[in-house]
Structure 1
């Protein structure tokens, strides 16, 4: 019993040291592998001991001494009664002692060896951690570092030469995509709760970002001239939890949040064009189709809706009780025929509004949370984020089949935003590790 306890504790002690001084995630994987190896070893021993026949000992050799002759002596009785009776000869045989067979089990197929087991456990665990966690792998082709706080949003300029990132540090940075260097830093006067929901006008001359709620200021939408460093206009947004989206032609801005309605406004004047009413809880995300004629939204009321921007009418609706109670993210394909939305914690569902039903759930390989879905410009692929136990992976799926085609590692913390370049050859991401990254996906 003590031997088994020692065998189990030795590798665990080693893994505990590994956990605190080297690599927690690898140690967890190694611990799981080591425990599995121990149990496998134990079960094989148990099976071998119960199933294999015991060895039959050889019979003891018989004595080489010559056999004894039968007795021939006779017992004679005298008298007149009857003639003498002679006893029949009784042979006497030598009894040879045969040792009693000892009952014993067969030797097990696998012999326990504490040191070997400990080393094998750690080795197997290390391999498992590399194959499963791969936390040291970096597939990005460029890293953009300079923000001093977490990032909320990332967006390509129309010519794909500039990357804009918005951060909790209250700035929007414009990066040279090829050089990974900062071209310009855009700021806002006064307190703000971070900048996100970045968009460019089609000619790239104007940049828009949503400023998060801050005490005494509230939420705002801020516009900059791409050639200047100061904001040109700021407009307030009601509520404390709002999302903003700009139509691809740059003419309309949609904003929605805890007011439960989506308001459409003229970008230049901020004049309201109308409202899209129907959601009964917080609107957590909104997005325009490429032609700007349709808008998709998702809400904490567990519905996804598609709207006609021109008429303000709802044209499609799906209810899904597996949508998170806090809402989720939504994306609409460039041609407006498909909508992807986050479904609970393990899938992004692809919905075809015209058919009125989901096409399929992208779940292959997604371990924890399939968030931030985004369609490629050609509509053939869907990228989403898998936030899994400290390993933040971007996964790319084939829209038609749902088969995973690529996994991208590199971020060291949660990923808040994904976007394809206009030509579809690159993917950009923004994360809580204060960096943006560029990936080759063409």
Structure 2
């Protein structure tokens, strides 16, 4: 029996099984043999660890074989006799297209084979020097591997190509929700000189040894922060003092979300679990995942509906999950084609949108996961936000641009240009008139949405800004940075 046949046998399926059936078999076995299920039985846990390793290797071998077959099917275009009277054959190779290597690279990226993905995207660029998405994907992988300078160079190149290819005309036309031209337009950063300062620094929270990665603010003035560790720190907005440390995750915290009431904090982690915290008692009140259900990799993003009934989660396993909070059950599992980096929920809790490396933005029903609308964004996304009335969507991404979309038509309204590095966060003010953005370029910017003009720009930190949150009073902004600080800002909106 060859290695691939053995791999199918390990997954307990036929070698003729479809890729979808293979994936389902892998996920089923991965759940059964997940070591976290046997934490109280050392013997079974050791057996599960060996078993899951074998299952992962088998699945990887099958995917590699399928990718190889797909590649060979394209390479061997025709096999014909060189002459009617001879038995010699001739193999005609066709030059692969950039799109072929791009799709191949995306396949490797989804399976987290980063070396192979980088090779494929490099082949794309060799064939087409202006293939923007290939530069963005290379930048994403290099960033994930910790090569930030090289990643920035890739994103900068993609940005330069996009500027060179830009044909959209700049307008000074005002935006009105009732009607506007269906041609998107670009507004360059030109800060207004105002007598009053719309964004004023007033406090720094120091005392960290690691970069601040994630922030969430409650309605009663508590700030939750997470760095590259297992703990969550709680701070008081008014004083900037730490009031508690939440412990429970067994690996680094990777995302935070706050309930509308501000009484519950939800956290996701590399330990594959989602934990709910009572902020009054400061203790875990429930845990999703990690045993019989949940994500097979780190939890990337979270959002809780306003009625506290439904939780949306995104994972590094390229899946979206919808949970019934009361029953503690996963009710929908949706596979996606590319890495997800961010998630936003509409104010009424009926819709959600995810962003990442997939060129399409998908607006989905929050109960069923059904796609309501797709928007062709054509760029990697790091942050998303719905406007308070639910009619607009703002996106910020790797290419340093912010885009504003009309959700009723799917048309782009603005491209806001001004940041010089990737946009890490976008937030609407509560009245929907102002957009707030933060970036790896260390700045926070305020934008006037009626015109698309930049109101102000503040160099807020000494290093990149990873996260930002607006307090419910609409007057305080918290920003978290790689300079190991949280800063609080007085915001006059």
1:16-38 deviation per Cα after TM superposition (whole angstroms, max 9, x unaligned): xxxxxxxxxxxxxxxxxxxxxxx
CA 1:228/1:178 → structure 2, altered by over 3 Å: closer, same or farther?
A: same
Measure, in 2, the Cα distance between the counterparts of 1:149 and 1:221.
22
Q: In the alignment, what sits opposite 1:285?
A: 342
Measure, in 2, the Cα distance between the counterparts of 1:202 and 1:301.
29
CA 1:267/1:150 → structure 2, altered by over 3 Å: closer, same or farther?
A: farther
| SS of equivalent to 1:224 | strand
2:316 aligned to 258, 261, 265, which one?
A: 258
Q: In the alignment, what sits opposite 1:314?
A: 371
Measure, in 2, the Cα distance between the counterparts of 1:151 and 1:288.
23
Q: In the alignment, what sits opposite 2:465?
A: 415
Q: In the alignment, what sits opposite 2:113?
A: none
Count of residues paired in the alignment: 289
1:295 aligned to 352, 365, 372, which one?
A: 352
Contact 1:294-1:336 at 8 Å conserved across structures: no
1:265-313 deviation per Cα after TM superposition (whole angstroms, max 9, x unaligned): 0224321232455x42122211111111111111312111111224432
1:142-173 deviation per Cα after TM superposition (whole angstroms, max 9, x unaligned): 112233322221111123x2111122132211
- Give the CA deviation at 1:405: 0.5
Q: Unmatched 5+ residue regions in structure 2? A: 1-198
Q: In the alignment, what sits opposite 1:399?
A: 449
CA 1:273/1:335 → structure 2, altered by over 3 Å: closer, same or farther?
A: farther
Measure, in 1, the Cα distance between the counterparts of 2:279 and 2:486.
20
| SS of equivalent to 1:424 | coil
Q: In the alignment, what sits opposite 2:229?
A: 169
Contact 2:440-2:466 at 8 Å conserved across structures: no
Q: Kindly indicate whether residue 273 of structure 2 is the aligned counterpart of residue 220 of structure 1.
A: yes
Contact 1:173-1:184 at 8 Å conserved across structures: yes
Q: Kindly indicate whether residue 206 of structure 2 is the aligned counterpart of residue 148 of structure 1.
A: no
CA 1:290/1:346 → structure 2, altered by over 3 Å: closer, same or farther?
A: same
Q: Kindly indicate whether residue 405 of structure 2 is the aligned counterpart of residue 351 of structure 1.
A: yes
- Give the CA deviation at 1:343: 4.3
Q: In the alignment, what sits opposite 1:204?
A: 262
Q: In the alignment, what sits opposite 1:336?
A: 390
Q: In the alignment, what sits opposite 1:192?
A: 251
Contact 1:197-1:245 at 8 Å conserved across structures: no
TM (norm. structure 1) is: 0.61
Measure, in 2, the Cα distance between the counterparts of 1:229 and 1:424.
25
Measure, in 1, the Cα distance between the counterparts of 2:377 and 2:284.
40
CA 1:402/1:256 → structure 2, altered by over 3 Å: closer, same or farther?
A: same
Contact 1:291-1:334 at 8 Å conserved across structures: no
Measure, in 2, the Cα distance between the counterparts of 1:151 and 1:196.
11
Measure, in 2, the Cα distance between the counterparts of 1:320 and 1:203.
33
Q: Unmatched 5+ residue regions in structure 1? A: 1-137
| SS of equivalent to 1:329 | strand
Q: In the alignment, what sits opposite 1:247?
A: 305
Contact 1:427-1:440 at 8 Å conserved across structures: yes
Measure, in 2, the Cα distance between the counterparts of 1:305 and 1:297.
6
Q: Kindly indicate whether residue 445 of structure 2 is the aligned counterpart of residue 387 of structure 1.
A: no
Contact 2:398-2:421 at 8 Å conserved across structures: no
Measure, in 2, the Cα distance between the counterparts of 1:199 and 1:370.
19
Matches within 5 A, 1:48-63: none
Q: In the alignment, what sits opposite 1:231?
A: 284
1:82-122 deviation per Cα after TM superposition (whole angstroms, max 9, x unaligned): xxxxxxxxxxxxxxxxxxxxxxxxxxxxxxxxxxxxxxxxx
CA 1:247/1:146 → structure 2, altered by over 3 Å: closer, same or farther?
A: farther
Contact 2:388-2:432 at 8 Å conserved across structures: yes
Instruction: Flag the structure with larger Rg.
Output: 1
Measure, in 2, the Cα distance between the counterparts of 1:264 and 1:438.
33
Measure, in 2, the Cα distance between the counterparts of 1:264 and 1:428.
29
CA 1:196/1:335 → structure 2, altered by over 3 Å: closer, same or farther?
A: farther
| SS of equivalent to 1:219 | coil
- Give the CA deviation at 1:317: 0.9
Contact 1:145-1:435 at 8 Å conserved across structures: yes
- Give the CA deviation at 1:415: 1.1
Contact 1:254-1:265 at 8 Å conserved across structures: yes
Contact 1:349-1:361 at 8 Å conserved across structures: yes
Q: Kindly indicate whether residue 423 of structure 2 is the aligned counterpart of residue 370 of structure 1.
A: yes
Measure, in 1, the Cα distance between the counterparts of 2:338 and 2:370.
18
Let me know the Cα RMSD of the aligned residues: 2.1
Matches within 5 A, 1:41-190: 139-159=200-220, 161-188=221-248
Measure, in 1, the Cα distance between the counterparts of 2:446 and 2:343.
22
1:327-376 deviation per Cα after TM superposition (whole angstroms, max 9, x unaligned): 4222111221111112442201111121221111110x322223311111
CA 1:229/1:300 → structure 2, altered by over 3 Å: closer, same or farther?
A: same
- Give the CA deviation at 1:139: 4.6
